[in-house]
Amino acid sequence: MNKPIWLGEQIYFNGEIRHSEEYDRPVFTLKVRWVGCSYIDEEISMDLVPAVSKHGWWPSNTDFNAIDMMTDEIRSEGCLLLLQNPYHLSGTVMRISCYAADICLMKSLPQYYRESYRLCKLLRHKDIMPLIDPDANHDHFPLFAAGDCVTSYMLKNSLFHVLRQSKTDGLMVEPDYQSTNNAIVNISVRLLQILDCSLLQRKLPVYFLPNREDIFRFEFLEKSDSNKADTLIAFHCARRRAFVKIMLYMLRH
């Protein structure tokens, strides 16, 4: 984080705090504006989530040997416990978050890997990506925005899977100055390809908890009817794929 920018006058808070309508998750969203030559009235959204932190705590069934990017520093960060309203899942008052471990791994990545993640996030922006409905003839939903469908969490976990493959295949080679931009685009393409394959399979494991958490299925755990849950997952994966295909097209042309 660039502290001088945050301490300067380019970023301001207008006093607006929104409470998430997802009443199963106590989340407060704080929005600030970034005004300047590079970013003209750009909105930055930050989620404030109550959490319990115990350094070094991981679920008891975590297989550390299966997480090839695990380090002592990441392991010492552990997982967070976020408060969870038991409205949907009776008796469940907390959920596991790998946020601290994610940040620790992200900070250790080469700069061009982090830039590829930022590029993919940028492609979702409302000024770049059109609103779409992948199945306008068979549903009555409004147009969808890419930022609401393809989340940063999905992109981040896809990046971690790219990183794992790169290390396995011996592709972790630092590009020279002239080829850095090409490397960023190539990694972005690979990231989106992995996400596209995951959407096709309707399964995206959380990198640090692959045997426990599925990003696509988590929001439908409360559905007692598994067929209905599968139908909803298929629908959401289809609209996400539509955006990912457009993002891939942009990067390739």
Amino acid at 163: L
Average pLDDT for 43-56: 83
Q: How far is CA 60 from CA 71, 133, 208, 221, in A?
A: 18, 42, 13, 21
Average pLDDT of the chain, as a whole number: 83
- Reply yes or no on whether the pLDDT at 197 is more than 80: yes
Token pair of 105 as six digits: 């791994």
Span 99-252 CATH architecture:
Orthogonal Bundle (1.10)
Q: Where are the domains of the chain?
A: 1-48, 99-252
- Reply yes or no on whether the pLDDT at 245 is more than 70: yes
Residues 123, 251: Cα–Cα separation, whole Å: 9
Write the DSSP symbol of residue 40: S
Sheet of strand 80-83: strand arrangement:
51-53, 80-83, 94-97
Q: Which residues, at least 6 apart from 170, have a Cβ–Cβ distance to it below 8 Å?
A: none
| Range of 153-162, 168-177, 233-242 with top mean pLDDT | 153-162
For 95-129, how does the pLDDT look when each residue is reduced to its tens digit (9 = 90+)?
889 999 999 999 999 899 999 999 999 999 888 88
Predicted confidence band of residue 161 (pLDDT cuts 50, 70, 90): very high
Q: Which residues, at least 6 apart from 201, have a Cβ–Cβ distance to it below 8 Å?
A: none
Higher pLDDT, 96 or 173: 96
- Reply yes or no on whether the pLDDT at 224 is more than 60: no
Residues 196, 187: Cα–Cα separation, whole Å: 14
Amino acid at 157: N
Average pLDDT for 70-98: 82
Residues 203, 198: Cα–Cα separation, whole Å: 5
Predicted confidence band of residue 76 (pLDDT cuts 50, 70, 90): very high
